[in-house]
Amino acid sequence: MPYVPQYLAKYLGQAHITIDVSSMSLSLQVNGRHHATYPCAVGKPSTPSPVGSWQIAVKTVGPSWEVLGTRWMGLNVPWGNYGIHGTNAPWSIGRQISNGCIRMHNENAEEVFDLVAVGTPVDIAGSYGASSGALRLGATGQAVVELQNRLILLGYLTGFSDGVFGISTDAAVRRFQASNGLVADGIAGPLTRRALGMW
């Protein structure tokens, strides 16, 4: 285990991770105090990192797939297999290059791994922009997160954005459409998304 400052030793597991996709950095807080900021690689625009609030769901030492480096911290994103991990391609750090995962230098991933626990909150901030296609019941992904965020902001949806276009999101879209003179079909197409201010 890497050196842990004395003030952190009794707080192991009381951590919070924040990832900024625009600056390609990962910040770690322990017990409310900033511990370190690390450079990272994030998803490319065609396969963006999942913006939102997640948790570490699983931790693995020495993952079997070598491109994941020496550590894997899987996130509870409902529409895909995303995580924070090391890399066998250190040249990729500081780039928008992955399929959505957060890559770190192996030594940094190992340090973070030892200071977090399953359940640690992970906030990924930033925006890649919504895709231009229509969103409807059953859709998943980053564009749905952005749609839900707009509906929550405008008061049509309660709860949190999970990236899954389910029944509650469908009902919220219909309410928004009916309130704004649009066809209330529950499909977030170009007119609805423009009215929501997503473009």
CATH of the domain at 179: 1.10.101.10
Q: Scanning the structure block, which residue is given the tokens 């049509």?
A: 156
Q: Which pLDDT score, from 0 to 100, does residue 13 have?
A: 57
156 and 64 fall within a common domain? no
Q: What is the mean pLDDT of residues 156-173?
A: 91
| In contact, 69 and 120? CB cutoff 8 Å | no
71-75: strand order across its sheet:
33-39, 25-30, 15-20, 121-125, 52-61, 71-75, 83-85, 102-103
In 3-state terms, the chain is what percent helix, strand and coil (to 5)?
A: 25, 25, 45
Query: What CATH number is given to the structural domain containing 58?
Result: 2.40.440.10
pLDDT-based confidence at residue 2 (cuts at 50, 70, 90): very low
Summarised one tens digit per residue, pLDDT across range 9-28 is 455 558 999 998 877 889 99
CA atoms within 13 A on the CB side of 63: 23
Whether residue 36 is predicted with pLDDT greater than 80 in this model: the reply is: yes
Q: What is the pTM of this model?
A: 0.65
195 contacts: CB under 8 Å, gap ≥ 6: 176, 180, 182
Give 63-117 pLDDT, tens digit per residue: 988 889 999 999 999 888 999 999 999 999 988 899 999 999 999 999 999 999 9
Which amino acid is it at 16? H
Catalytic site includes residue 40? no
Given this model, what pLDDT does residue 39 score? Answer: 94
Of 16, 34, 101, 105, the active-site residue reads 101
Say if residue 46's pLDDT is above 80: no
Alpha helix locations (H) across the chain? 6-9, 106-115, 142-153, 167-179, 190-195
73 and 146 part of one domain: no
Per the structure, the count of domains in the chain is: 2
Which range of residues forms the domain containing residue 51? 6-125
**16 is an active site residue:** no
Pick the catalytic residue from 16, 34, 85, 105.
Answer: 85
Query: In terms of domains, do 33 and 113 share one?
Result: yes
Residues 20 and 73 in one domain: yes
